[in-house]
Amino acid sequence: MSAKAMLDRQDSNTTGTVEARTPAVAEGSKVAKKQKASKKIRAREPSWVRCSELEAANSEIEDFLTSYDSMEPAELKVAIKRRLREELAFISNPEFSDPQLGKQVFDQSLELAPRKAELGIAAVRRSGIDMPIHLGRLCEAPLLNPEQERLLFQRMNYLLQQAEVHRSQLNPQRPSRVRMELIDRLIALAEWHRDRIVEANLRLVFSIVKKFVNPNNNFDDLLSDGIVALIRAVEKFDFDRGFRFSTYATQVIRRNSYRTVVVKQQERQKTVGGLQDLDLDITDEGRESAISEKRWHELRSRLSVMLDDLDRREKLIIRARFSLGSHRKVHTLQSLANRLGVSKERVRQLERRAMEKLRAMAGKANLAELEPQ
């Protein structure tokens, strides 16, 4: 099966956690609700939560956990209602219904290798990008073998499933501090396992995003977006599909980097179009030499200041007509007229008046100083 086919198959079963819930996630919620309907789950910490295999993880998360002991009843009810609104996303698995699974899963040893500084330094050198050497610390975690990778994904999703089971048992009218603390611990432990997967795959992000670096797309921005894409891929990956996570993650990160470059290029084109409408000469030859990243930001900053000098209606019309800021498409005169409650002709007059103001401000701003020396 090709990498693209694997990605399409994976996405068809685990489509984003920020959109409609995935079939797997929906199934996970149904499992939790079914358990709630069948019997009441006691608010008691399972013995495997404090096993030796989770000792390091529990030690690291301890300072980040909320204590509910001193919380007033009214405050506790608010916290419970807030938790009930936050449905947990995880990839369900039939084996999660086994009551003995927790003990079995956490009896196995991960045997993660310690971090190595030389791995990070090597990753920076291989990137070919002029960047601070401290970024290499992101890549000090050794790669995972297939057994470690599968066990980490299994644990992460199982912990989230257990947290969701207890979340479904919450009742603001009968608040339970013990259950809230247990849910928080299970979620924190799941995030600890997620972070181990992420840090072991950060070199993959470096190797992919460096290919998209150009004068208009710096490495830092692409790296940040790539790490976010990697985290999203970890949360959506179904470990039971039978292929390595890196195969899936490569496609997700590559697709995300390509989308980032395209969106930024479209935004630049919109801004250049707006400047040309102000009778500013931005030729291809000029852009090649003049619009360095620094000068480009200065130019956009000045345009933003100029727009702020317009009144509220003029600013709205210019942004909407030239697809600037939060406006993702060009609005028609009629649509703006309907929004402002005036005639189409009045909108045209306001647009003309705003353009005249911007031309006058552009002349006074001495934009020529942004040209290359």
Kindly report, residue by residue over 163-203, the tens digit of the pLDDT: 999 999 999 999 999 999 999 999 999 999 999 999 999 98
Tell me: do 242 and 301 sit in the same domain.
no
291 within domain boundaries: yes
- Backbone CA torsion sign across 273, 274, 277, 279: negative
Structural domain count, the chain: 2
Residue-wise pLDDT tens digits, 211-261: 898 888 888 889 899 999 999 999 999 999 888 999 999 999 999 999 989
Tell me: do 132 and 250 sit in the same domain.
yes
Whole-number Å distance between alpha carbons of 273 and 280: 10
pLDDT at 339: 84
Last residue of a domain, one of 262, 295, 326: 262
Average pLDDT, the chain: 80
Tell me: do 303 and 199 sit in the same domain.
no
Tell me: do 56 and 100 sit in the same domain.
yes
Domain region containing 105: 3-262
Are 350 and 339 within 8 A, CB to CB? Answer: no
267 within domain boundaries: no
Kindly state the tokens that stand for 349. Answer: 């007059």
Tell me: do 334 and 243 sit in the same domain.
no
CATH code, 354 = 1.10.10.10
pLDDT at 39: 66
Q: Measuring CA to CA, how many Å separate 227 from each of 140, 200, 212?
A: 15, 12, 14
Q: Measuring CA to CA, how many Å separate 175 from each of 43, 74, 86, 186?
A: 11, 10, 17, 18
15 within domain boundaries: yes
Q: Model-level pTM greater than 0.75?
A: no
CA atoms within a 13 Å half-sphere pointing along the CA-CB vector of 293 = 10
Tell me: do 213 and 355 sit in the same domain.
no
210 within domain boundaries: yes
Helices 3-13 + 245-277 axis angle, to 10: 90
Tell me: do 140 and 226 sit in the same domain.
yes
Last residue of a domain, one of 262, 295, 329: 262
Whole-number Å distance between alpha carbons of 76 and 86: 16
pLDDT at 37: 44
pLDDT at 155: 97
Angle at alpha carbon of residue 10, lines to 7 and 11, rounded to 5°: 85
Residue-wise pLDDT tens digits, 262-276: 888 887 777 666 666
Tell me: do 361 and 239 sit in the same domain.
no
269 within domain boundaries: no
pLDDT at 371: 45
Low-confidence ranges of the chain (pLDDT < 50): 3, 12-27, 29, 32, 35-38, 284-291, 368-373
270 within domain boundaries: no
Angle at alpha carbon of residue 64, lines to 61 and 68, rounded to 5°: 115
pLDDT at 105: 94
Q: Give the three-state DSSP class for 371.
A: coil
Tell me: do 165 and 305 sit in the same domain.
no
Last residue of a domain, one of 262, 288, 319: 262
Tell me: do 240 and 314 sit in the same domain.
no
Whole-number Å distance between alpha carbons of 39 and 165: 11
272 within domain boundaries: no
Kindly state the tokens that stand for 108. Answer: 């196995």
271 within domain boundaries: no
pLDDT at 338: 84
Angle at alpha carbon of residue 45, lines to 39 and 50, rounded to 5°: 145
Tell me: do 188 and 286 sit in the same domain.
no
Whole-number Å distance between alpha carbons of 332 and 351: 12
Tell me: do 169 and 290 sit in the same domain.
no
